A and B are shown apart, each in its own frame.
Chain A
Amino acid sequence: MAAGGAGGKTYSFKVVLLGEGCVGKTSMVLRYCENKFNDKHITTLQASFLTKKLNITGKRVNLAIWDTAGQERFHALGPIYYRDSNGAVLVYDVTDEDSFQKVKNWVKELRKMLGNDICLCIVGNKIDLDKDRHVSVEDAESYAESVGAKHYHTSAKLNKGIEELFLDLCKRMMETAQAEERLKGNGASQSASSRRGVQIVDDEPQATPAGGCCSSG
């Protein structure tokens, strides 16, 4: 939100990566940020926080991609992760019906907590395994449309669709940020309230978003 920066300055966006364990989140970000897949020469120790600098129509964009813990036992921690994020990439495995169901749950939660300020992308990964597909294209796309999200098909293995996905997401986040700036006017008075968003109450994860978030409505 406030991370969007003003005027001709650099945009900084936070994008959370949501999805079940084996849907290929890690492979996807590594492919995007390092252009590598299952490679021994991957330079980073970790794939949970990665950044990418972009230049979109003459505007500089700093993209921070936050991987989130997707295991069931960490489910309640979601709100702590996606607080103040500008975009969310929800990944499912096209060969795994359950992972698509999880994405639906995430979407519900995100819309409830963050409203329409967040740009949602629903991503069907592993299209190289199309013959084992268990989630139909039509279902996925119509669902995405019904919740105001965009749908993409990707393959981290074949490096398909990933670049486009993030570029598109960035453009949409920029539009949102610009619209917000226009709404705010000069925006100077608003900065104090945006700071409020940081007041994390870490011991009550489910109570915070209800009262604390300034973006709803």
Chain B
Amino acid sequence: MSTDKQRGIHVSQEELLCKNSCGYYGNPVWQGFCSKCWREKARIAGASRQDTRPSNDGTPLTFSKFEEKKSTEKGRRINTMRRLFWGSPSPPKLQESSESHANVLKAYQSLGAGDFTGFLKILKSPSSQRLQSRCTAFLNTMEAYHDLPVQKQSDLVQDFYQSFAEYFNSFPEAQVTEIMEHVEKLIMTRLHKWVFCHDSCDDEQKDLALQRRIRSLNWITPQMLSVPFPDKKIEVTGDPFLPAITAIIEMDAKRAPQDKLACVSKCSQHVFEALSTSNSEPANADDFLSGLVYVVLKANPPRLHSNMQYVIRFGLPHSLMAGESGYYFTNLSCAVAFIEKLDGPALNLSQEEFEGYMLRQRAPSAGKRQQVVSDTQHLLEELQGRQEKLDQGMDSLSVQLQSWVHAVNSQLDEATAQFALVQTEVTAKTESSQVLSSSSHDALLQGDDKDESVLKLMDQHAGPQDTDC
């Protein structure tokens, strides 16, 4: 069977062989060991840890099963892997060491809200080694199988969340949510590079299509979308939606789905703030959605489709289904759907007008353009002013630096002059003492004494000088 495999995949012999160099073939699922060596390794690890695997006679069964399925298609392989790595929620696990289990739980319970570092510390501590090794094993599996279809990967991750959450089923719901958010952050920060905008789906094309679509709609004004927009204030404050635009662009830079969601929430909050400047009443969903559509059109966020799909696939289901962030994310989905299906009537334009704008035959009215030009000019002037200020600051700083260097140099000169003076004094003194001293002393000893006294004197003089500088 193993020779077959080699012929099919064309990998070098060494890569396929067991890491224990026993001559058999290894498998990435077993961290590169062959089944026998891996079993041996797992047994040793299990014995030292006691709580890793239910019992030793249980394992061979699973492994023989595994070997049977090795040749079958990928999907089935995953099922076996699943059983292997995060095991079935079997009763022995719960019985094994309820005391240490309770201790671990207590540590997690004392965790403060949003304390990710604290969570990592607890996870690293020896008492929760079991959980930690589960995370590591899962990450290794995911990395080894990073070329699976993205939907499969999503299923694996979601299953992992579910089985991980079961560990804490004695906790109140809010706390489980908190812990699971940490787990999500930990897992997805690592997996981001493997699963984001995966090759197996057409996310990249869709990103580009959406980007092009938004670019082609760049002529849309807030008035067309009937976004409540402060007309008069525009010269003073600039675009009130700018913070929201920045927030939605930031989404692409984050790695964990919850951080991406947080960007969507932040953007939404900014939209509400912007709306409140032109509207005294609390914003309703119509205002909000129009505002969000406007923000998405202006921002043209990088890889928006990929980012949203990533959150849907790998985010915690709880944060997407319920809660404020779920609401904001739903609205973002609505905004994107609206932009994709956008036509004339939706903007209170006739179909011909809409076509005209799309083909660039029409452009915003002259007044509008002039306003944009003057706005831009204004911005440029402001920028120039700031640049000049910066230049001035740099000049004055370099002058300051030069004078400082001068001061230091002169102080140094002074110090060396003083030192030379002291040195001549000292030599004069020693010479006179040499004359005075009796010749009975050993010449060698005398030499040492002299050196010592010179050193002492030098130290005495060096002391005050240091403080001068």
Q: Residues of A at under 8 Å CB distance from B?
A: 2-3, 5, 9-10, 12, 14, 17, 21, 25-26, 30, 40, 42, 44-49, 51, 64, 66-71, 73-74, 76-77, 80-81, 83-84, 191-192, 194-195, 197-200, 202-203, 205
Within 8 A of A (CB), among B138-160: 158-159
Chain B residues with CB below 8 A from A67, complex form: 284-285
Contact with A along B237-262 (1 / 0, CB 8 A): 00000000000000000000000000
Query: Is chain B's binding surface mostly helix, strand, loop or mixed?
Result: helix
| Cβ A47 vs Cβ B284 within 8 A | yes
Confirm or deny: B178 has a beta carbon within 8 angstroms of a beta carbon on chain A: no
Interface size on B, residues (CB 8 A): 43
B338 partner, pick from A74, A192, A198, beta carbons under 8 A: A74
Q: Which residues of A contact B282 (CB under 8 A)?
A: 26, 30, 42, 44-47
Residue of A nearest to B151 (CB): A199
A202 engages B337 (CB within 8 Å)? yes
The total number of A-B Cβ pairs within 8 Å is 113
Beta-carbon contact of B173 and A69 below 8 Å: no
User: Is B327 in the interface zone, CB < 8 Å from A?
Assistant: yes
Given contacts A2-B321, A194-B317, A195-B317, 9 further A-B pairs with CB under 8 A are A14-B321, A40-B280, A68-B285, A69-B285, A69-B288, A70-B285, A84-B321, A192-B158, A198-B312
Binding site for A on B (CB under 8 A): 158-159, 162, 173, 206, 269, 272-273, 275-276, 280-286, 288-290, 305, 308, 312-313, 317, 320-324, 327-328, 330, 333-334, 336-338, 340-341, 345-347
Query: What's the Cα separation between A19 and B327 when bound, in Å?
Result: 18
Q: A202, B324: Cβ atoms under 8 Å?
A: no
List 18 interface pairs A-B (beta carbons < 8 Å), by A numbering: A14-B322, A21-B286, A42-B281, A45-B269, A45-B273, A46-B284, A47-B283, A48-B284, A69-B285, A69-B288, A69-B290, A74-B286, A74-B338, A77-B289, A80-B337, A83-B330, A195-B158, A198-B312
Docked-complex contact B321 and A200, CB < 8 angstroms:
no
B132 to chain A, nearest CB (A): 25
Find B173's partner among A9, A71, A84, A191 (CB 8 Å cutoff): A9
- Would A199 and B312 be within 8 Å (CB), given that A26-B284, A30-B282 are in contact? yes
Of the candidates B285, B322, B328, the one having the most CB atoms from chain A within 10 angstroms of its own CB is B285
Taking a contact as CB atoms under 8 Å apart, the answer to whether A203 and B336 are in contact is yes
Contact B337 A76 (CB under 8 A): yes
Q: Smallest Cβ distance from B409 to chain A, in angstroms?
A: 61
* A3-B321 CB under 8 A given contacts A45-B272, A48-B285, A69-B289: yes
Q: Are A205 and B337 in contact (CB under 8 A)?
A: yes
CA gap between A68 and B322 in the complex, in Å: 15
B283 and A198 within 8 A (CB): no
Please state if B336 and A202 are interface contacts (CB–CB under 8 Å): yes
Q: Which residues of B contact A14 (CB under 8 A)?
A: 321-322
A25 to chain B: which residues have CB within 8 Å? Answer: 284
Q: Residue of A at shortest CB range from B289?
A: A69
> Are A10 and B173 in touch, CB under 8 angstroms?
yes
Q: With the chains together, A9 CA to B275 CA distance in Å?
A: 38
Residues of chain A within 8 A (CB-CB) of B334 are 69, 74, 77, 80-81
Chain A residues, CB < 8 A from B345: 73
Chain B nearest CB, measured from A206 CB (Å): 10
CB–CB B338/A200 < 8 A: no
Residues of chain A lying within 8 A (CB to CB) of residue B206: 203
> Do the beta carbons of B283 and A48 come within 8 Å of each other?
yes
Do the beta carbons of A203 and B337 come within 8 Å of each other? yes
Bound together, the chains give a CA A12 to CA B276 distance in angstroms of 30
- Residues of B within 8 Å of A70, CB to CB, are 285-286
Nearest 9 Cβ contacts at the A-B interface: A67-B285, A73-B346, A47-B282, A202-B333, A45-B272, A69-B289, A48-B285, A49-B327, A77-B334
CA distance A217 to B307 in the complex (A): 33
